[in-house]
Structure 1
């Protein structure tokens, strides 16, 4: 994904308003700053997970599996939960299986279907990563007190409710 490292300032954006009068400079700056921060956080998370030989996609698959009572799920469900295609999920599962972090097992109810299950090695990997992750996450989010954190969540949910605007 292409990311603009240097956000435009109000003067630069004023040039756009001459051509596109509907542009609200303050809102454009707010949106671009939000995207920039989200991208920076995602990149930082990638670097952090990379230090544990994980990528975000593979980490999320392990976390999704850990949500399940039996630590397993079918690939199509995982793809839906992760918001990726089945082909993408197949690639993620293949990589996790190659590294011994998950295994494929035959579904006991439908022998035509396989389930993906976290292995002991996969659980061990999460046990290694998650304490450090939660410590870092706590430090990151400590920039907000309780009230600010609740307000932040309200704002994020308000933005989420409008995501269809770009669809």
Structure 2
């Protein structure tokens, strides 16, 4: 993903506003700041997970499997919960299976169907990653007071509810 490291200032944006009258400089700067911080947080998470031989997509699959009562679900359910295509999920699962972190298990009632199960090695990988992950999340979120954190969540939810403006 391309990440804009040099956010434009109001002077630069005023040039755009001259050409595009609908450009509200302050709202554009607010939006770009939110976008930049989200991208930076995602990149920081990827860098952290890379230290454990993971990227977010594979890590989320392990998390989703751990959430299941029997550590097992279908590839299509995983794809739906992760918000990716079945083809993308197949690629993620292939890599995780090669590393022994998940296994494909034939359905007990229909051998044509496969389920995906978190292996002991997959659980051990999560047990290795999660304590340091939670420490970092706690340290990051400690920079906000409880009130600020709640206001942030409400503001982000408000923005999220308007996501259709780009559709």
Shorter-chain TM-score range = over 0.9
Q: TM-score, normalised by structure 1?
A: 0.98
Calculate the aligned-residue CA RMSD, in Å: 0.7
- Structure 1 spans left out of the alignment, 5+ residues: none
Q: Distance in 2 between matches of 1:108 and 1:149?
A: 46
Q: Paired residue for 1:78?
A: 78
- Structure 2 spans left out of the alignment, 5+ residues: none
1:110 deviation in Å?
2.6
Q: Distance in 2 between matches of 1:77 and 1:25?
A: 42
Q: Paired residue for 2:128?
A: 128
1:111 deviation in Å?
2.1
Q: TM-score, normalised by structure 2?
A: 0.98
Q: 1:19-58 to 2 correspondence within 5 Å? A: 19-58=19-58
1:109 deviation in Å?
3.1
Aligned partner of residue 112 in structure 2, secondary structure: coil
Q: Distance in 1 between matches of 2:92 and 2:6?
A: 32
Q: Paired residue for 1:60?
A: 60
Deviations 1:60-91 (A, max 9, x none): 00001111101111001111111111000000
Q: Following superposition, which runs of at least 4 residues in structure 1 exceed 2 angstroms of deviation?
A: none
Q: Paired residue for 2:144?
A: 144
